[in-house]
Amino acid sequence: MIKAAEHNGIPVKEAAPAALLLALLRVGKPAIAAALTLAGFTGMVTAAHGPPQGEIAVSCLTSLFLMSTAAAVVNNVLDRAMDEEMERVSKRSEALRCVGSGRALSWAFALALTAIAISAATLNPLTTLLLVAASAGYAFHYTVFLKRRTPWGALFGIVPGALPVLIGQSAVSPAINSAALALFLVMVVWQPPHFWLLSLAHLDQYRTARIPVLPVAKGIPFTAGCIYLGVAALFPALFILYKSGAFSLSFLTASFAVTLFYYLVCYRVLSVGPVSPAPFRMSIAYLLLIFLLVIAGHCL
């Protein structure tokens, strides 16, 4: 049963425990947390040149998932006013109203403390430091400062989203190697066009919410040009990853083929308009395929 209540003067729905748990999970952006956890696992595989040690893998991936979830919850609370103007996140906004901002922040604090405790007890200090830096960078530096003040937030705020690769690497070995840094570079290069594709697919909503994303500030043609450059930059980034010595020519060929297809999808859709969500979805699939190619290159 759901009844009306108030939290900080804002109507909040008091839900049954099962509905409350579902709302908490939704506010934590589980799909994004899972993707970041996969990035961490890919970093671990790169460092170990194969499957990582079981106990280390469990500790690292658990702490990474929990910390990613905590950062996502804080992001949702800080962005709640803007998100209310955007249909694409309406389910998350409804979930946050159900949970309430105070309870959501308490949940995020508990998750973050648990993640730090697991990492500090079972992993090395560098991993814990990177874990905290990634979470704080996304939840505060990007959300509070960059997102609200510059159309280049997706470019200047790329480091936290790429750090999971180094978190996974450092959990296996505190001495971060060239292959992990190259994979980190791929993640850095991938992020800006990914977000610009998202902002193009929901341009009217970003404009209504007064979020100064690149297509709102600079227009669609300029943003499309930046996306082409960003996707094209993945080719040299992947070549650097290949030259790190950890991957075969088969990996380079397959990753280049996937990148070319990604580029062609972007060009085909953006050159004819109106912009559809297809390139954004392709961007997600692309990164997952690159991760799988990296994992397969070390484990098969």
pLDDT in tens, 267-295: 999 988 767 888 999 999 999 999 999 99
Q: At what angle do helices 249-270 and 220-232 cross, to 10 degrees?
A: 170
Residue 40 and residue 64 in contact, taking contact as beta carbons nearer than 8 Å: yes
- Give the phi and the psi of residue 4 in degrees, each rounded to 5: -80, 145
Distance CA 152, CA 214 (A): 7
211 three-state secondary structure? coil
Those residues whose C-beta lies under 8 Å from the C-beta of residue 89, and which sit 6 or more positions away, are 83
Low-confidence ranges of the chain (pLDDT < 50): 1-13
Q: What is the per-residue pLDDT for 20?
A: 86
What is the rounded end-to-end Cα distance, in angstroms, of the chain? 51
| pLDDT in the model for residue 274 | 67
Residue 19: predicted pLDDT: 84
What are 79-110's pLDDT values in tens digits? 999 999 899 899 999 999 999 999 999 999 99
Q: What is the CA radius of gyration of the chain?
A: 20
- Select from 117, 124, 240 the least CA-distant residue to 183: 240
Residue 257, class by beta-carbon neighbours within 10 Å (0-12 exposed, 13-18 middle, 19+ buried)? exposed
Specify the pLDDT at position 15.
63
Please list the residues that pair with 13 across neighbouring strands.
Answer: 4
Q: Is 28 helix (H, G, I), strand (E, B) or coil?
A: coil
Instruction: At 273, give phi and psi (nearest 5°).
Output: 55, 170
Contact between 128 and 20 under an 8 Å Cβ cutoff? The reply is no
Contact 44, 60 (CB under 8 A): yes
296 sits in which H/E element: helix 278-299
CA distances from 277 to 49, 93, 260 (A): 36, 21, 19
